[in-house]
Structure 1
C-alpha cells in the first residue's frame, strides 16, 4: 500500500531560539532562519533574562517579519528556555537553533525531504555542521557522521550530532521524552541537554541525516561547552539517568566518556591552559585511573612528566595506586 505523504510546503516548522545576552549574534541568526526556502515557519525567541539589547533586536526584526515572536522569562537556563518555546509553539516539527549559530537557506527544506522518505518512524533528522568563528567564517569542516536508523548504540558512545542547532525533530517524538532536562542545571551539570534528549528520542524512533554542512556551529571561548569540567559532570549525570534503562550499553557509555575527556584534555594542552589540564587529569583519574595512564602516555615525554609531577606531588594520586603510572617511567 502506497503511503500518502503531505508535501513539504504544508508543514509548519516551529523554530525555537533560546537567547541570553545574545545581542552580538541574534540578528544574524534570525536572518539565517527567516531566509529559509521553506517558508512555513513560526519563530519563537525565548529571552532568558538578558541584560543587553537582545529583546529590542528581536522586537525590531519581529516588526518586519510576523513569523517572529518574542517570549521573555527570568533566567532559568537553556533547557528551560527551549522547553518554554516548544510549549508555546504549534508546528508539527521542532527546529531548535542557538542564538549564535547559523543555518544554510535550504536546511529545513532538505531535512523535511528526508522525513518524507523515512515515514512516521523517523523522529529526528540532523545535518552536518561547519565550525564557524566569531566573524562567521568557516574554520573547520570535519563533521561527517553517517549514523541513521537505529542509532541508540552510537549515541551512547557520543553525541555525533554535535550541537543543539542542526536537528529537526518530529513533535510527536519530542512529546515521548521528558523534554530538555532542566534538572541538569540544578545539579551543577549543564551542557549535555541535547545529547540526553537525542538519546531519549532514539529509544523509540529512527534518525536520518542530510550529508551536507547546513548548520554553522559557533565555537567561542564563552560557550557553555568551553566549561570542560561542567561538560564532564553533565555527561556523567545524563549517563546516571540513562544507563539503568540500557545496561547493555555500559561499555559504550564508558568508552564515550573517556573519549570526551581525552578530547577536552588535549584541547586544554593545545590552548596552554595548565590549570585546566591538571583539573581534567584529576577528573579522568577519578573516573578511570587506567585510562588516565593511557592518555598521559600518549603525550610527549616532557609534557607527561609535567602532568604526573603535578598529580603526584606526594607519591600518590589521591588514594590511587601508582601502578597505573608505571608505564610512564622512562627508566
Structure 2
C-alpha cells in the first residue's frame, strides 16, 4: 500500500482543549514535516473542535474526527483505519516532543537494512523531563533490537518511552472492543505485536514528559474494575507470553482479582487457572479484591 505521508501523528483527545496546543506547537517546530496530524475527538464537551479549527491555519495537514465517547482504544482503532502515514505515532493531547523527534525516528528506521525491515514494526526512544533528565532506564545499547515482553520481563527496563509503529502492522492488531466498556490496557496490543515483530529501541530523547500528567497508577485500578472484560482479556493474553513463571503467576492472580466483579467472568477465569496453583492464588486474588474495595 502506498502512503501519502511518512508519519501520521495521531492524537486521541477528550476535553483537552486547554492542553492540545502542546502537540500543535511541537509539530510546528519539527525539522521533518512529512506528516499529517490526525485528531480523533472521543466525545469532548469543551471547545476542542473550535481550537483545532484555528490550528488548521498552519502549514501542515490536520484532520479532525469526532466520535461518541467510547474510550481511547476505540479512538486509536479509528485513527489506524483513517491513517495516511506509513508510520503511526501517538501524541497524547498533552504531549510535547523535541523538534527533531520525527527526523530521529525516521533516521533510525532508515538504518535498518532493507532486507530486514519487514521483521521490524517500530522505533522507540526515551522521554525526558522539562529539565532534560532521562525518565526511567536507558536501553542496554544505544541501538537495541528487541520486543516489548523482553524489555519488560527479561531486561526489566522501566520508565516512559515513546515511538511509532508501522501502520500496516497496527491494522492487523486492533484493540478488542467490548460492548459497554471504554478501557482496555495498551499492552493487549503491544505484547501481541511483539510475538511477530522486533522494535528498534534507541537511547535518544524524543518526548518531554510532563510530571503533572494524569498518573495511571491511581486511576488504573478503578478503570480496570469498571471494565473487567477488557482487563481479564489482557491478563489472559499476557499469561500466554513466553515470560518467566513468576510473571505468569502474577497475571493469573490479577485475572482472578478482577473476575470477582462479574460472576460469568469469574467462572470463566477459574476454568483457565492452573489447578495446582489455584489454592494458593485464590486467597491472594480475593484479598486484593477486598483491598480494592476498601479504597473506594
CA distance in 1: counterparts of 2:233 and 2:206, whole angstroms: 30
Seen in structure 2, the aligned counterparts of structure 1 residues 42 and 11 have a Cα distance that, compared at 3 Å, is closer
The structure with more helix, counted as a fraction of residues: 1
2:239: which partner in 1?
Answer: 243
SS of residue paired to 1:92: strand
1:105: which partner in 2?
Answer: 99
Superposed CA RMSD: 3.6
Aligned residue runs from structure 1 range 83-232, under 5 A? 83-118=77-112, 119-120=116-117, 121-131=119-129, 137-138=130-131, 141-146=134-139, 148-151=144-147, 152-155=149-152, 160=157, 166-177=162-173, 179-183=174-178, 186-187=180-181, 190=183, 192-193=185-186, 195-220=187-212, 222-230=214-222
CA distance in 2: counterparts of 1:85 and 1:228, whole angstroms: 23
Structure 1 unaligned regions, length at least 5? 1-9, 132-136, 259-283, 293-309, 312-331
The aligned length equals: 249
SS of residue paired to 1:129: strand
Query: TM-score of the superposition, structure 2-length normalised?
Result: 0.70
Query: Contact 2:10–2:91 (CA<8 Å) still a contact in 1?
Result: yes
* 1:36 pairs with 2:30: yes
Deviation of 1:26 after TM superposition, in Å, equals: 0.2
Seen in structure 2, the aligned counterparts of structure 1 residues 90 and 229 have a Cα distance that, compared at 3 Å, is same
Aligned residue runs from structure 1 range 46-65, under 5 A? 46-65=40-59
Q: Which moved more, 1:32-41 or 1:146-155?
A: 146-155
* 1:252 pairs with 2:244: no
Deviation of 1:80 after TM superposition, in Å, equals: 0.8
Q: Which has the larger radius of gyration?
A: 1
Seen in structure 2, the aligned counterparts of structure 1 residues 19 and 138 have a Cα distance that, compared at 3 Å, is farther
Structure 2 unaligned regions, length at least 5? 254-281, 292-296
2:74: which partner in 1?
Answer: 80
Seen in structure 2, the aligned counterparts of structure 1 residues 37 and 46 have a Cα distance that, compared at 3 Å, is same
Query: Contact 1:46–1:70 (CA<8 Å) still a contact in 2?
Result: yes
Query: TM-score of the superposition, structure 1-length normalised?
Result: 0.64
Seen in structure 2, the aligned counterparts of structure 1 residues 210 and 158 have a Cα distance that, compared at 3 Å, is closer
Higher relative contact order (CA 8 A, sep 6+): 2
Q: Which moved more, 1:220-229 or 1:108-117?
A: 220-229
CA distance in 2: counterparts of 1:257 and 1:62, whole angstroms: 48
